[in-house]
């Protein structure tokens, strides 16, 4: 690192763009001598520490999000005896998912679909308004990479120290530092993997089992799996996940327009860039002093001055770095700024800036979000505490009885979501003089009383008979309704009644 | 095909030496990862051949067995044995339980229904149809009419000993005479009695013939089918007053039945199926139409 005596700016041309280009050139030459490899070697990125508003916000987001992640499975929620008391729990073996007051069955997986649609549309909306805020601050990949980089910085030092360490020979100190860093990463990974499975089993029980070395193989397997993925993705793969593996950066450009807030370099003000001697005039040149601080701090190793690009995760750390330098050279801040392209262009031309949050794009995304949200809310509020499924016998389609009446067989399944045994009344609609009976019992007109076992599906084979004169068609569309006795909550299921060809 | 390997000026790579319609192909090396994947699959194959059965014609067994000694047949036998041992509990219970007593044990009923469904599909469906839908000459098992009785015990005995089955002394037996073929009745009498039988269930057309047929019926049919056509389960004689016809209920079919008689048969299953399977079948058949 060199310090410009005139400006006091630390320049890091040790690994400036020029050096990086040389490395790439060397890599190409090496590839050619090795017989023309088609594989470009990864360029290690050494993000520099930085302080400022965006860095503080990123730390805050990290603390809050990790806090939620680690604390959430420990929240208790009393649901009565025999039911898990964990507020957030996906019980794979018991086939139930619990979310505070809500208990969902596998049949209701559409709530998950709805939630994912909400998340996607929410992501579109946030991106069209504020750029890649998800990528920059909230994505687990970003959060854990940030945490891993913090460990790395504590152990190996800042950017230049790390570059020097990696370039230097293997010494005892280097080995110890590397061991310490990877151990730290592994501990974090283990805690991450360990916390993840708390969402799928009772957290206190599992923790006790883990402490006593009694945890089951499945739990250990998944802890191992998520430990490994956290370590590889957050420690080793890092920005390559965002650049090469994640589909989102590839199509997020479709959500952005000139009115989206993004991290942007104000080229009109910065160019032509160049080194600046203290005391010399700023006339005829741009404000960018080409100190490369914005590149040095970037977690994905790009140069924001080349414009918005898919590698940019929108974290704004380059803004913090540039603001710091602008302070030193006593120029206005925000040469790299978090703003819209149209505002930037307006400033370049001296026009007043204008923010347009309400645009067709954002209206469509908000509308979609509202529609999906309302539909989900609606289904949640009107969600019956039981569900009914009726499966008609296909063989035989119908049976002629001794007295000439036509009888169809059905299997009625009552899915009782509550924890108590409940009684229901089954009624057939749409067929005159119809009589219901349970298999092996006498047919009676009117309602059929059925009992549903608690928290399970109770299945009944029932018969529906009607006098031949009442069966007017080969296929009669009819319906079964199931009403809870004395409660009035009703679920209706449409079916058909088959008779002989007319 | 002339082959002339040359060096491509632009990329510096050699060509394959082939030329098609003026198009040459560069001999670009495979991507390294691709090559490694190929090597990995070869390695996998070699290891697999050592561990698992792989090469036919070699060795005592007619193929190389592999050091792990894996065999799909053994796996199948093991899993079948496992399934059998899981079933054993229920099978023992089935052996011990009386037919009527079984209905009080829902778990046992569920087991019997599942087993009965499979046994029914394997043995009974060709004649009685899936779900006991029946067909001309083969009784519907899902209705409320039972020729030889519809209680669990009745069904069990029918299954065990069959109907008109020559090999079984206890088989359910009866024979309706062929009134026409054996010249017991003449054509006019048969026509009259057919009209009478149809009139019993309200589907007759010729009232005069039916009235004449009454006397023929009383003399020839009432002994088995009952004075009022109510049938008799002791002989498996169908009830003639209901809406169910085993061989069809139009006049032509009824005349055919009286003339030549029918006397359908069902095998005795006691020699083909073990007792617990017959019990399972009885439970299943009983459940189809609700039984008696």
Query: Is position B29 within any domain?
Result: no
CB pairs under 8 A between A and B: 61
User: Smallest Cβ distance to A439: which of B32, B130, B287?
Assistant: B287
Per-residue model confidence (pLDDT) at position B177: 94
**Residue A150 pLDDT:** 94
- Among A243-252, A477-486, B2-11, B250-259, name the one with the lowest average pLDDT: B2-11
Closest chain B residue by Cα to residue A35:
B29
Of the given ranges (A5-9, A159-163, A265-269), which has the lowest mean pLDDT?
Answer: A5-9
User: Does residue B196 share a domain with residue B147?
Assistant: no
- A130 contacts A54 by C-beta, under 8 angstroms: no
Q: Which residues contact B175 (CB under 8 A, 6 or more apart)?
A: B164, B261, B263
Model confidence at A31, pLDDT cuts 50, 70, 90, reads low
Are B243 and B199 in the same domain?
Answer: yes
Which residues of chain B carry a pLDDT beneath 50?
A: none
> What pLDDT was estimated at residue A381?
87
CA distance A300 to A246: 14
* pLDDT for residue A11: 47
> Does pLDDT of A82 surpass 60?
yes
Residues of A in contact with B143 (CB under 8 A): 399-402, 407
Mean pLDDT of A461-480: 90
Domain spans, chain A: 35-383, 386-498
Q: Classify residue B53: in a domain, yes or no.
A: no
| pLDDT the model gives residue A12 | 46
Whether residues B254 and B270 fall in one domain: no
**Shared-domain flag, residues B106 and B164:** yes
> Which residues have a Cβ under 8 Å from the Cβ of A66 and sit 6 or more positions away?
A143, A147
Q: Does residue B27 lie in a domain region?
A: no
Which pLDDT score is estimated for A144? 95
Residues B98 and B203 in one domain: no
- Phi and psi dihedrals of A406, rounded to 5? -105, 135
The predicted complex's ipTM stands at 0.76
Quick one: A397 exposed, middle or buried, by C-beta within 10 A (0-12, 13-18, 19+)? middle
Statement to judge: residues B100 and B206 lie in one domain: no
Question: Which stretch of A313-317, A440-444, A493-497 has the lowest confidence by average pLDDT?
Answer: A440-444
What pLDDT does A438 receive?
86
Question: How many C-beta atoms surround the C-beta of residue A85 within 10 A?
Answer: 15
Residue A13: per-residue pLDDT: 47
B179-232 residue pLDDT tens: 999 999 999 999 999 999 999 988 888 889 999 999 999 999 999 999 999 999
Q: What sign does the CA torsion over B145, B148, B154, B158 have?
A: negative
Name the residue of chain B whose CA is nearest to A406's CA: B143
Indicate whether B154 belongs to any domain: yes
Least trusted range by pLDDT, from A270-279, A404-413, B221-230, B253-262 = A270-279
For residue B128, give the 3-state DSSP assignment: helix
State residue A36's pLDDT score.
54
Does residue B57 lie within any of the structural domains? no
Is a pLDDT exceeding 70 seen at residue A10?
no
What residues of chain A lie within 8 A of the CB of B291, using their CB? 440
pLDDT of A34 reads 54
Q: How many domains does chain B have?
A: 2
A-chain residue closest to B13, CA distance? A36
Measured CA to CA, the distance from residue B228 to residue B240 in angstroms comes to 8
Confidence check: pLDDT of A279 > 60:
yes
Same domain? For B129 and B157 the reply is yes
Q: Do B165 and B270 sit in the same domain of this protein?
A: yes
Residues of chain A above pLDDT 70, percent: 93
Indicate whether B237 and B270 sit together in one domain: no
Q: Is B8 on the interface with A (CB under 8 A)?
A: no
**Which ranges of A157-171 would DSSP assign to H, the alpha helix?**
159-167
Answer whether B244 sits within 8 Å of A401, measured CB to CB.
yes
> How far B44 CA lies from chain A's nearest CA (Å)?
23
Query: What mean pLDDT do residues A259-281 have?
Result: 87
Mean pLDDT of chain B: 90
Which residue of B lies nearest to A394 if distances are taken between CA atoms? B131
Restricting to B residues 172-211, those with a Cβ less than 8 Å away from any Cβ of A are none
- Could you tell me if B198 and B219 lie in one domain? yes
Structural domain that includes position B157: 75-170+266-289
Instruction: Specify the pLDDT at position A1.
Output: 44
> Within an 8 Å CB–CB cutoff, is residue A401 touching chain B?
yes
Q: What pLDDT was estimated at residue A263? A: 93
Name the β-bridge partners of A31.
none
Question: In this predicted model, what pLDDT tens digit does every residue of A48-62 receive, in sequence order?
Answer: 999 999 999 999 999
A424 and A450 in contact (C-beta within 8 Å)?
yes
pLDDT at A27: 61
Residue of A nearest to B203 (CA): A404
Residues 107-136 of B with CB under 8 A from A: 129-134
- Write down the mean pLDDT value for chain A: 87
Partner B contacted by A465 (CB < 8 A):
no
Chain A, 53 to 112: residues with Cβ < 8 Å from chain B are none
Give the closest of B29, B133, B290 to A36, CB-based. Answer: B29
Residue B59 lies in a domain: no
**Would you say A181 and A226 are in contact if contact means Cβ atoms under 8 Å apart?**
no
Residues B281 and B222 in one domain: no
- CATH number of the domain at B103, please: 1.10.760.10
- Structure confidence at residue A14 (pLDDT): 47
Q: What is the structure's pLDDT at B135?
A: 87
- Tell me which CATH code domain A386-498 carries: 2.60.40.10
């Amino acid at each position: 690192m060199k310090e410009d005596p005139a400006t006091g700016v630390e320049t890091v041309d040790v690994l400036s763009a020029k050096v990086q280009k040389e490395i790439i050139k060397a890599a190409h030459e090496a590839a050619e001598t090795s017989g023309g490899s088609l594989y470009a070697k990864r360029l290690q990125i050494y993000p520099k520490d930085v302080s400022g508003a965006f860095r503080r916000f990123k730390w805050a987001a990290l603390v809050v999000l990790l806090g939620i992640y680690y604390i959430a499975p420990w929240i208790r929620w009393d649901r009565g005896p025999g039911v898990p008391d964990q507020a957030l729990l996906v019980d794979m073996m018991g086939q139930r998912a619990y979310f505070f007051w809500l208990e969902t069955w596998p049949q209701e997986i559409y709530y998950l679909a709805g939630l994912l649609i909400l998340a996607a549309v929410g992501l579109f909306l946030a991106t069209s308004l504020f750029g890649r805020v998800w990528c920059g601050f909230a994505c687990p990949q970003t959060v854990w990479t940030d945490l891993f980089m913090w460990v790395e910085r504590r152990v190996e030092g800042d950017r230049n120290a790390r570059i020097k360490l990696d370039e230097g020979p293997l010494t005892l100190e280097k080995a110890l530092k590397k061991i310490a860093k990877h151990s730290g990463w592994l501990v974090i990974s283990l805690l991450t993997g360990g916390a993840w499975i708390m969402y799928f089993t009772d957290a206190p029980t599992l923790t006790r089992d883990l402490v006593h070395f009694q945890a089951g193989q499945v739990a250990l397997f998944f802890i191992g799996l998520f430990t490994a993925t956290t370590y590889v993705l957050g420690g080793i793969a890092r920005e390559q996940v965002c650049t090469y593996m994640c589909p989102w950066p590839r199509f997020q450009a479709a959500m952005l327009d000139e009115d989206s807030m993004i991290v942007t370099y104000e080229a009109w003000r910065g160019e032509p860039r160049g080194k600046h001697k203290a005391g010399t005039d700023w006339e005829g040149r741009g404000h960018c002093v080409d100190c490369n601080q914005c590149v040095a701090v970037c977690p994905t190793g790009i140069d924001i001055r080349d414009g918005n690009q898919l590698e940019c995760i929108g974290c704004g750390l380059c803004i913090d770095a540039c603001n710091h330098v602008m302070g030193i050279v006593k120029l206005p801040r925000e040469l790299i700024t978090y703003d819209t392209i149209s505002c930037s262009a307006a400033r370049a031309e001296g026009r007043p800036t204008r923010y347009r949050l309400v645009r067709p794009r954002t209206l469509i995304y908000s509308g979609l979000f509202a529609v999906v949200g309302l539909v989900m809310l609606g289904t949640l509020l009107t969600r019956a505490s039981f569900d009914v499924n009726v499966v008609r016998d296909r063989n035989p389609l119908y049976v002629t009885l001794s007295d000439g009446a036509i009888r169809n067989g059905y299997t009625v399944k009552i899915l009782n979501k509550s924890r108590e045994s409940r009684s229901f009344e089954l009624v057939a609609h749409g067929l005159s003089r119809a009589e219901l009976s349970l298999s092996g019992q006498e047919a009676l007109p009117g309602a059929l009383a059925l009992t549903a076992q608690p928290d399970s599906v109770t299945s009944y084979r029932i018969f529906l008979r009607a006098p031949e004169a009442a069966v007017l068609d080969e296929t009669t569309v009819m319906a079964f309704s199931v009403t809870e006795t004395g409660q009035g909550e009703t679920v209706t299921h449409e079916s058909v009644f088959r008779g002989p060809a007319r | 095909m002339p082959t002339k390997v040359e060096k491509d000026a632009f990329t510096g790579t050699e060509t394959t030496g082939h030329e098609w319609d003026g198009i040459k192909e560069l001999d670009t090396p495979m991507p390294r990862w691709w090559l490694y994947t190929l090597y990995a699959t070869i390695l996998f194959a070699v290891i697999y051949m050592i561990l698992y059965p792989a090469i036919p014609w070699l060795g005592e067994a007619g193929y190389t067995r592999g050091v792990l000694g894996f065999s799909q047949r053994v796996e199948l036998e093991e899993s079948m044995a496992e399934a059998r041992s899981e079933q054993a509990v229920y099978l023992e219970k089935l052996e011990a339980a009386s037919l009527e007593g079984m209905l009080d044990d829902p778990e046992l009923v569920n087991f019997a229904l599942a087993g009965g469904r499979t046994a029914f599909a394997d043995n009974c469906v060709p004649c009685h149809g899936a779900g006991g839908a029946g067909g001309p000459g083969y009784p519907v098992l899902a209705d409320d009419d039972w020729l030889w009785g519809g209680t669990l015990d009745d069904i069990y005995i029918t299954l065990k000993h069959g109907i008109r089955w020559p090999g079984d002394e206890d088989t359910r037996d009866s024979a309706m005479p062929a009134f026409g073929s054996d010249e017991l009745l003449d054509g006019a009498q048969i026509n009259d009695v057919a009209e009478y039988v149809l009139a019993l269930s309200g589907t007759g057309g010729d009232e005069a013939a039916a009235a004449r047929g009454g006397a023929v019926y009383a003399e020839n049919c009432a002994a088995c089918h009952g004075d009022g056509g109510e049938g008799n389960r002791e002989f498996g004689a169908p009830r003639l007053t209901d809406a169910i016809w085993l061989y069809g209920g139009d006049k032509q079919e009824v005349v055919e039945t009286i003339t030549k008689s029918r006397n359908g048969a069902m095998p005795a299953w006691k020699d083909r199926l073990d007792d617990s399977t017959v019990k399972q079948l009885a439970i299943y058949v009983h459940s189809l139409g609700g039984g008696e």
